[in-house]
Structures are given as C-alpha cells and as structure tokens.
Amino acid sequence: MTYTRGIMEPIKVGLLGFGTVGSGTFNVLHRNQEEISRRAGRGIKITQIAVRNPVKARQVLIDLPDTVELTSDFTAVVDNPSLEIIAEMIGGTDIARELVLRAIYSGKHIVTANKALLAIHGTEIFEAARSKGVIVAFEAAVAGGIPIIKVLRESLTANRIQYIAGIINGTTNFILSEMCERGLDFATALADAQRLGYAEADPAFDIEGIDAAHKATIMAAIAFGVPVQFERAYVEGITQLHAIDIRYAEELGYRIKLLGIVRRTTRGIELRVHPTLIPVKRLIANVEGAMNAVLVYGDAVGATLYYGQGAGAEPTASAVIADLVDITRLCMVNPSNRVPHLAFQPDRLESTPILPIDEVTSSYYLRLRVANQIGVLSDITRILATLGVSIDTLLQKKSEFFDEGRVSETIIILITRETLEKNINLVISRIEALSTVRSSVTRLRMEALN
Ligand code: NDP
Ligand code: HSE
C-alpha cells in the first residue's frame, strides 16, 4: 500500500518571551526552516511573539518578517485560535504557570524549556494536558542541547534504570572550570556566565544548585516512574565550596563537579545535588566550561554517557525545535498512543519514597585543622572506628599557622569508605568536639561512578 501526504499548511506557533532561548529558537527555525519542514512533513511557523516591550524587540529584530506579529498581550497569544503550539520561553513559576495552563485548557500543545515550572507544578500541568489530550514537550528543560529526555523516555525504555549522575548546570560548571583552569575568582566567572546567556534570570538558582535540582527532579520522575517531587530533593550549591578543596581534591586524583544524582536503592530513591569529588580518570570529570554530561546506567545497556552544550541560545533552541517537530508529527495521533509525558503510563506511577539525605550512602572527603601534637590522629581514627566508618586515605598537610617559628597546626584530609550520611554527621560532631580540633570539618561527598 502507498501512503501519500497532502500538502499541509504550516503549523503555527506562538512564542511567549523573547530572551536568550526565545530568540535563539526563532533564529534557528528561520535559518533551517527548509531542512526542518522536510523532516517534520510540514512547515513550522512562529506567527506571534509576546514580549513585554515590542518596540525594543522590533529594534533587535530588524529582519523580522511582516508575517510575525509582536505583541505585549500574552493572553491574546495564548487564546489565539489560529495557533496550535505555545512555546513558553519566559521562565519562572508564576506567569509561566498561568499561561501554560490557560493554553492547555484552550487545547494547545506546549513546548517549554522551563524546568522550574515542571519540577514544581509538573503534576498539575501534566494532568491538565492529559485531560485535554495535548502534548507538553520539554526536551530543553534538562541539559540544554543534549537530548536526554528523549533518551530516558524512549531510547532506554527497555531498561530498569539504576542511576543517573549528571553535570546539568552549565553556569556552575563554567564557574568551576574558570576558577580551576584560569584562576578567575567566583564573581568574575559568574559575571561571564551571565554575559554569555548561560545563567538563570536570578543566578542564585544556578549557584545554589536549585536549577540542577529542578532538572534532577524531572529526570528522577522519568527514570523511575514517580511523580515530580522537587520539595524532597537535597540541594547544595557551590557557594560554600573552597578553592583549597578543589586543589587538595586534584592532588588526590579527584575533580569537584556539581552533580545531580538520582539513584534507585532498595530503601527508596536518592535525589540530590551537591559538589562531588569524582575520580579524575572518569570521562565525566573532564567535562569543562558550560558543557553538560549525563551518565545513565541501565540494567541492560550498562553505562551510557551523553555530552553537549547545556546552555546558551542555539543549543537550547536545538532542543526546543526538536519538540516542535515531534508535536508537528504527533499532534494527529490519538493521545493514548503517544509516549506518556513522564515515560510511564500516568496510572502506573509509583510512590517509592525519596530518601532524606541522612539515609543516603556515600564516601566522604573531610578536611579539618588540628593542633600539631601527639595523639590527635589516634583520637580521630578512634571516633571513626567506633562508628564503624573505614578510612580509605589519610593525609597530613602543613598548615600556614605558625607558633614562634614552629608549625603549631596541621591540616588533616580524610577520605572514608562508604557509609550512611547520618554516621558521617555523628563522626563530624564528635571530631569537632575534640579540644585539639581547631576548625569545623569541611565535608564533601564522593562518587566513584564505576
Ligand atoms: P531570558 O531572561 O533571556 O528571557 C526571558 C524572556 O521572558 C524575556 O523576553 C523577558 O522579557 C520575558 N519575561 C521575563 N519575565 C516576564 C514576565 N514576568 N512577564 C512577561 N515576560 C517576561 O531567559 P532565557 O531565555 O535564558 O530563559 C527562558 C527559559 O528557558 C527559562 O525557563 C530558563 O530556565 C530556560 N532555559 C534557559 C537556558 C539558557 O541557556 N538560557 C537553557 C535551557 C533552559 P524582558 O526582555 O522584557 O525581560
Ligand atoms: N542556567 C542554566 C544552566 C541554563 O546554566 O545550565 C540551562 O538550563
């Protein structure tokens, strides 16, 4: 039997927001429209763009075709009956949520790059979309240009996924690389990331680990078939990270990365973001700048690694447009035959608990300053032994604190074997109570990823 496809009108898209991602999407779609429509089977046209200041946007977009209308009326775009897709490129969880829900209830498909929105309001949004039979596509929400959502939802569908560990925030990886390789200070590196369009509108979301936790939350839901539960994620950013620990980690053969980790265990799911020491010989430890990388371990496939630009206008546009093409191809398909939003059938999501950080198992890097006197080390090792925590490496470094020409304090670095976080908390509080210990204990988690 031969199938023929009639000539179809282009599918019309309304764009909400015209910043880094919105303008990148417009430009790439415009530049590659011929190639994209050959793939989609139909043209894809942005016909209306909502911006707060159309005059300013018009000045930037000198080549904007007359067929594209700029308006400051966001609801008029959402309500426009000639549009089939609304691409939400505003960000945040207030106006974006209102507009996305309104668009869904008026029967429009959604493309969004907004991980905050989905990590926090995903359950409500996916339920609304299901009730209206529309698609909510969000490839750009996790790891920018890397098609990790497609991988987790479709390509690895045969697998029971065991864990995902990812460098999923370009801004913080860029900052860590610039500090490490070029010796830049934190503030300068952050300002560069903002200038290059990597950072969130409020960069605290990046540096405090919140953005990575939004993304990890979405990946956990898709990987394990559980609802999005951002409120249960453990989140620690890079603002408390000391340059000295980056240096000591390197000396010990490790690199520090802000990792998003989701792992299936017999007791529940780990969902956490924090600076992590990774052996420098792992590929993922060598991902620098704004690049992202996501390591996914499936029981059948084993370890797989996905690498690419995690932020920026055109890499993100690449993911947004992939979603536009998917919707163009799939909008005529019966909704029950589409890939479910969170990969698992909505009535088959499970309520596996997300483990509190106290119940997470890890190995640890501990750094502290102690008096340079006999017996200190044995006091510390006794505490560890009493609590059943094994030491893998113990290193003593010269401290810069001098007492009448003699070194009076020493820096101790300990690397432990795996133990529960609540055990290491006890270890730390007992060590800090020793009279010979002269500083609080700096603790960093470690992942072997082997
Ligand atoms: P920008 O700040 O560059 O652009 C946001 C756009 O939305 C601007 O046009 C802005 O208008 C408009 N906007 C912001 N707030 C409002 C509001 N309250 N009402 C109406 N319009 C508003 O952000 P990005 O393009 O970087 O990010 C957009 C989304 O994409 C976010 O969800 C972000 O997390 C996500 N994302 C970003 C990536 C990146 O590399 N930048 C990568 C992946 C995802 P105005 O110009 O007037 O301020
Ligand atoms: N601010 C985000 C980052 C943008 O730096 O990764 C991409 O999601």
Which residues line the annotated binding site for NADP(+)?
16-23
Out of 45, 215, 257, 422, the active site residue is 215
Ligand 1: nearest atom to the Cα of 312:
40
Which residue has the CA at smallest separation from atom 4 of ligand 2? 311
Report, as ranges of residue numbers, the positions in the chain whose pLDDT lies below 70. 1-6, 62, 399-407
Q: Torsions phi, psi of 381, nearest 5?
A: -65, -30
Which of 25, 167, 171, when mutated, tests ligand 2's pocket best, judged by the most ligand atoms within 8 Å of its CB?
171
Which residue has the CA at smallest separation from atom 15 of ligand 1? 90
Which residue has the CA at smallest separation from atom 23 of ligand 1? 19
CB neighbour class for 381 (10 Å; exposed up to 12, middle 13-18, buried from 19):
middle
pLDDT for 420 equals: 98
25 CA to middle of ligand 1, Å?
A: 12
* Residues near 172 by beta carbon (within 8 Å), at least 6 away in sequence: 206, 207, 209, 212, 237, 238, 258
User: Ligand 1: does its nearest atom lie under 6 Å from the Cβ of 196?
Assistant: no
237 CA to middle of ligand 1, Å?
A: 22
Q: Distance between CA 82 and CA 245 in Å, rounded?
A: 56
pLDDT for 57 equals: 81
pLDDT for 67 equals: 83
pLDDT for 1 equals: 41
Please name which ligand lies nearest the alpha carbon of 174: 2
362 CA to middle of ligand 2, Å?
A: 27
List residues bridging with 263 in a β-sheet. Answer: 163, 270
pLDDT in tens, 125-182: 999 999 999 999 999 999 999 999 999 999 999 999 999 999 999 999 999 999 888 8
Q: Distance between CA 432 and CA 417 in Å, rounded?
A: 20
pLDDT for 44 equals: 98
Q: Does 257 qualify as catalytic in the annotation? A: no
> Hey, what domains does the chain have and what are their CATH numbers?
11-145+314-348 (3.40.50.720), 148-309 (3.30.360.10), 361-446 (3.30.70.260)
